[in-house]
Structure 1
Amino acid sequence: MYRFTQDCLIGVEEIDREHKELFRIVNDVEELLGNDYKGDKYDDIVKLLRELQKYSEYHFQHEEEYMKKIGHPELELQKRQHREFAVKMSELDAIIDNRQEHELLDELMQYLVTWLFRHIIGSDMMIGKMPPLKEWEEKEEYTYTAQYSTGITFIDDEHKELFRIIGEVHRAIIHDYVHDKYDEIVRLLEELKNYTKFHFGDEEEYMTAIKYEGLEAQKKAHDAFITRLEEMDLEYVDDNQQKTLEELLEFLVGWLVNHILYMDKKIGK
C-alpha cells in the first residue's frame, strides 16, 4: 500500500488534496491486483484505469497552471513527464479492444501506479520550493553549509560530497567556452547516480540499525531520486545541453536541500 504521509505533502493545499486522491486510486489498483480471491478482475481494472486516466489529466492541468503562475523553473520538464504518462495511458484503448490481454493490462497498471508514486515523491515535492536558477546562483545555495548538518558525521561528509558534485554541475553551466558539453553531462550523471546509490545505501543501513521509523519513506524518496536520474532522455540532453544542465542543477539543489532539511535532519534527532 502506498501511504500518503507527511513526507508527501508539498505544502500547496489544492495539489496535496489531488495527490491524496491519486493515492486513493493507486491503492485501489494495488488492492485489486493483490486480491487473489477475485476471479475475473478485467472490468474492475478497466474502470479503475479509466478513473486514473481522467483524474490524472485533470490534476496535471491544475498542477501546470499553478507552476506557470508561480514561475516554477521545472514547468517544461513536468509537462514532458505528464505527456509521457498520458502516452502510456493511451495504450489502454488498444488493450481494452482485446479482452484476452489480461497480462498486458496488469503490466500497464503496475507501470502507471509506480510512475505516479515516483513522480509525486521525486518531482512534485519540488513545486514551490525551487526559486529560479539566478536566485540559486546569487545565494550560492549549491555549497554545503552548517545548516545542513544532521549531527551524524558520515552522513554529513557524504552530503558534502554531493554538494561538491553539484558544484561541478554549476561550473559546467558557466563554462561558456565549451561548446559541446554532452560528454561532461553524461559523466556528471553517472557520477551522481553512482554516488547517490552509495550514499543512500549507507544512510538506509544506518537507519535500519537504529530502527528509524521514517526508513520506508526515506527509501521511497531515494528510489524516486535515482529513477529521475536514470530516466533522463539522452537524446534530449544532447539536443538541449545548456538547458539540461540548468534543469539538473535546479533539481539537484532543490531536491537535496529539501530532503536534507525536512527528512535527513530528523534522523539525528
Structure 2
Amino acid sequence: MYLFTDDCLLGVPEIDSEHERLFEIINEIHALLGDDAKSDRYDHIYELIERLKQYAKEHFQHEEAYMERIHHPELELQRHQHAVFCDKINEADILLSGSDQTRFLDDLLKYLITWLYRHIIGCDLMIGKMPPADTGKKVPVFTNEYLTGIGLIDDEHKELFRIIGEVHRIIHDEFIADKYDEIVYLLEELKNYTKFHFADEEKYMQSIQYEGLAAQQRAHDAFVARLEEMDFQQIEGHQQETLEEILEFLTDWLINHILNSDKKIGTPVS
C-alpha cells in the first residue's frame, strides 16, 4: 500500500483531499493486482484506471484554476507536468491489450506513485508559498532565522545559499552578455552540492534516529528530481526569464524546507 503521508499536505483542503483520493484509487488498483483469487480482477482494474484518468484530469483542472487565481508563477510548468502524468495513464489503453498485463500494471503503478510523491513534494507544496510572477526578486541571504542549531547542517545550508546567490548575481549582472556557460557550471555545482548535503543530513538524522527521516528523504528526492529536470537548452534560448524562474523556485523551496522541515531536526521532542 502507498501511504498518503503528512508531508504531502499543502494546507489547501480541496487539493489535499483530491491528492489523497488519487492515492486511494492507485491503492485499489494495487490491491486488485495482488488478488490472484479474483478471476475478473482485470475487468475491475480497467474500470479503476478509467476512473483514475478522469479523476486526475478533474483534479489537475481544479489545481490549475487555483494556481491561476493566486497567480502562482509555476502554473505553466505545472500544466506541462500534469499532461505528462495523463499521457502516462493513457498508455494503458494500448499496453493493457498485451500479454504481460501484470508486469505492465506493476510498472505503471510504481511510476504513477513515484511521480505523485515527487510532484506533490517537489512542486505542489510550493503553491501559495512563492511570490506572484510579477513581484520583484530579492537577493537570497542566509539569516539567523534559518539556523537549525546543528553546525554541520547550518554550514551546508549557508553554502547552498552562497551558490544560489552567485546565480542571482550573474542573472542580474548587466555586463555579462552570455550567461549560459557560467550558469550551467553553477547549476551543476548546486546539483552536486545538494546531493552531498542531503546525504550528510540524512546520515545525521539516522544517527539520532530522527522519526521524520522518511519524509525528509522523500522531500530530498523530489528536489533532486527537479534539479535533474532542468532543461539547459531552454535556458540558452530564454536566458533571463528562465533563469529567474529557476532561481525563484530554488530559493523558495530551500527556505520553505529549512523553516518547515529542517528546523525540526534540531528541536527536541517533548
With structure 2 as the length reference, what TM-score do the two structures score?
Answer: 0.89
Q: Is the 8 A contact 2:2 2:113 kept in 1?
A: no
Q: Is the 8 A contact 1:200 1:222 kept in 2?
A: yes
Q: Superposition pairs for residues 1-269 of structure 1, below 5 Å?
A: 1-32=1-32, 35=34, 37-38=36-37, 42-132=42-132, 135=135, 137-138=137-138, 140=139, 142-269=140-267
Give the superposition deviation at 1:19: 1.3
Rounded to whole Å, the distance in 2 between the matches of 1:60 and 1:190 is 32
Rounded to whole Å, the distance in 1 between the matches of 2:35 and 2:167 is 49
With over 3 angstroms needed to count, the CA separation of the structure-2 counterparts of 1:106 and 1:3, relative to structure 1, is: closer
Rounded to whole Å, the distance in 2 between the matches of 1:4 and 1:104 is 23
Rounded to whole Å, the distance in 2 between the matches of 1:224 and 1:259 is 12
With over 3 angstroms needed to count, the CA separation of the structure-2 counterparts of 1:189 and 1:29, relative to structure 1, is: farther
Q: Is the 8 A contact 1:237 1:244 kept in 2?
A: yes
Cα RMSD between the aligned structures? Answer: 2.2
How many residues get paired? Answer: 266
- Equivalent residue of 1:7, what SS? helix
Give the superposition deviation at 1:166: 1.1
Give the superposition deviation at 1:186: 2.3
Q: Is the 8 A contact 1:148 1:260 kept in 2?
A: yes
Rounded to whole Å, the distance in 1 between the matches of 2:43 and 2:145 is 53
Rounded to whole Å, the distance in 2 between the matches of 1:93 and 1:238 is 37
Segment drifting more, 120-129 vs 105-114: 105-114
Give the superposition deviation at 1:77: 1.1
Rounded to whole Å, the distance in 2 between the matches of 1:103 and 1:23 is 20
Q: Is the 8 A contact 2:171 2:244 kept in 1?
A: yes
Paired residue type of 2:121:
I
Q: Percent identity?
A: 59
Rounded to whole Å, the distance in 2 between the matches of 1:209 and 1:32 is 39
1:184-226 Cα offsets, whole Å, 9 max, x none, are: 3322221121111111111111111111110100000000111
Paired residue type of 2:216:
Q
1:85-118 Cα offsets, whole Å, 9 max, x none, are: 2222221211133354443333223212211111
Rounded to whole Å, the distance in 2 between the matches of 1:88 and 1:184 is 35
- Equivalent residue of 1:137, what SS? coil
Paired residue type of 1:86:
C
With structure 1 as the length reference, what TM-score do the two structures score?
Answer: 0.90
Rounded to whole Å, the distance in 1 between the matches of 2:180 and 2:37 is 51
Give the superposition deviation at 1:14: 1.1
Q: Is the 8 A contact 1:64 1:79 kept in 2?
A: yes
Q: Is the 8 A contact 2:122 2:222 kept in 1?
A: yes
Give the superposition deviation at 1:39: 6.9
Give the superposition deviation at 1:254: 1.4
Q: Is the 8 A contact 2:26 2:109 kept in 1?
A: no
Paired residue type of 1:247:
E
With over 3 angstroms needed to count, the CA separation of the structure-2 counterparts of 1:179 and 1:83, relative to structure 1, is: farther
Q: Identify unmatched segments of 5+ residues in structure 2.
A: none
Q: Identify unmatched segments of 5+ residues in structure 1.
A: none
Higher relative contact order (CA 8 A, sep 6+): 1
